[in-house]
Every structure is written in structure tokens, then in C-alpha cells.
Amino acid sequence: MTDHVRYGLYLPPFGPFGDPADLVDLAVRAEAAGWDGVFLWDHVVPAMPPIADTWTTLAAIAQATDRVRLGPMVTPPSRRRPWVLARQAATVARLSRGRLILGTGIGSDETGDFSRFADPSSPAVLSSRTDEALEIVRSMWAGKAVRHEGPHYQVTLDAAEPTPYPIPVWTASTTEHERVLQRAAGSDGIFPNTGPRPPSPEALASLVARVRPPDRPYDVAVTGNASPAWEDPDAVDPAALAALAEAGMTWWMESLIHFDPLDLSLTIVDAGPPRIGG
């Protein structure tokens, strides 16, 4: 059975997507074409200018759409003040009436998002900051009093009204390091983002078996290119999508890249989600 799979678009808010108005138009067109979600990378330094702010753009998308899920895919809590992230996420959740998904990861310094601002960028430090930040974010969403004294953050907050909409948290994984898998198992979903090609069904099934809780819903998002509108012989075919779905995939993320012109990406959007099955 593959009817549990949803279909999202996964793209950077820079280069040909650097105008936030274009991203809002893309999301509106995606909703009309039958896509289930629109998810934006979150960077400060673009691989290709110009760049739009992810959270401001998500707020605009939330107001312009009615059905699609949306969120950063992914935002690094290690690069943000967790109390600001908690408020931003709660605000977009309200604007979208509960459609926000918070994709998280430790962050990458590939374009200098950390080092250009003299922020620490070692994976060990970023991992530690991420765990601590997520603890604070979840406590704030729950409306709990926060008395936190950690190695990276100190917070003192009184109890408040909890966030009215649940906000699923997904964990991005570029490796199968035990700490990453533990973080993923405590989240609401996993996003194995290991390269331009999706994992094999066998590798995905093995990963899902290690992180998916037995007692609650859990999402597994896989990215790649499967739309026939690409006219690409290397695109993932319907049978391969079905095998990934059988292995545990619940979201297919069609990857739109800043190397391609905007018109081509909009053609993919307007074509709607790819077909799944043999």
C-alpha cells in the first residue's frame, strides 16, 4: 500500500528562488497542482544570491495558502536563539492553522553560515547546542516554566499558555551517528538527506527500523527527483517510489535546485506530484 505517501517540494530560498514573492507564487501554484507541502532550506549566506529569509517567507506562504504543509527543511537550532525560534515557529503555526512542520538539523558551514559570523562550527558543538535548544523550544511550546542552566543557554521563564497547535519536529540526518539516531527517535520524523539520490529501499527500511517509535505516528521524508516533467533519464521511476513507500517513506520531497532556472522549476510544480507504483 502506498496511499500513505504525501508529496512535497523542497527548495532553497536563494538564486532563482531568492524573491519571496516568487516563493509565495510557487506555493500557491503547488497547492493548486495537488502538492501536499512546500519546504524551504534555511540559510544566512546563499550559495547563489539573492536570498530571502525563510521564516518571513513561510509566514507569507501561510497566509496565501489553505492546505499545504510548510516549514523550514531544515533550520539549525544551533545557529538560532532557541527562544526566538520557538516564537517564530508558534507564530507560523498560528498563521497556517496548524500546518507547520519544523525540520531541524545541526547545520552546515558549507556556505559560511557559521564561520563568517565567528560562530562555532564543529559538529560536536553544533550537536550539543541543537539538543539543548530543542529542549528549550519544546518546553516553551508546552507553556511550561523554564529554569534552564546549560552549557550553551540560560533561560528563566514563567509558565504561559501553550502553543494552540501541535508542531511536529523532524530530524535531518546526513549520517547514522548514534546521537543523530537518538535525536531522530525522539522526534516526529526523520529526513535522511544524504545526497542527490535517495537511499535504497533496503537502506531506508534499516534506518526506519532503528528510529521509528512503535507507539505513535512517525514521518519518513525522502528527497530526489521523480517528476516526469524533468525529462531526465536518471529520475526516480514510479516502481522505485513504490519500493521506498513500502520501506517506510511517508513523504516524497521533490528537490528543486538553484542550478535550474525558475521557469523549469515552475513547470515541475505545475505538473503536480509524480506517479507512484509499478
E strands within the chain? 6-11, 37-40, 69-72, 102-104, 146-149, 154-157, 169-173, 189-192, 219-224, 251-255
Mean pLDDT of 158-176: 95
Does pLDDT of 278 surpass 70? no
Parse the chain into domains and list their residue ranges: 6-271
Does pLDDT of 77 surpass 80? yes
Mean pLDDT of 109-126: 95
DSSP, collapsed to helix, strand or coil, labels residue 134 as helix
Q: In percent, how much of the chain has pLDDT > 90? A: 92
Mean pLDDT over each residue of the chain, to the nearest integer: 95
Mean pLDDT of 238-267: 96
For domain 6-271, the CATH class is alpha beta
Q: Please write the tens of the pLDDT for every residue from 254-270.
A: 999 999 999 999 999 99
Q: What is the pTM of this model?
A: 0.96
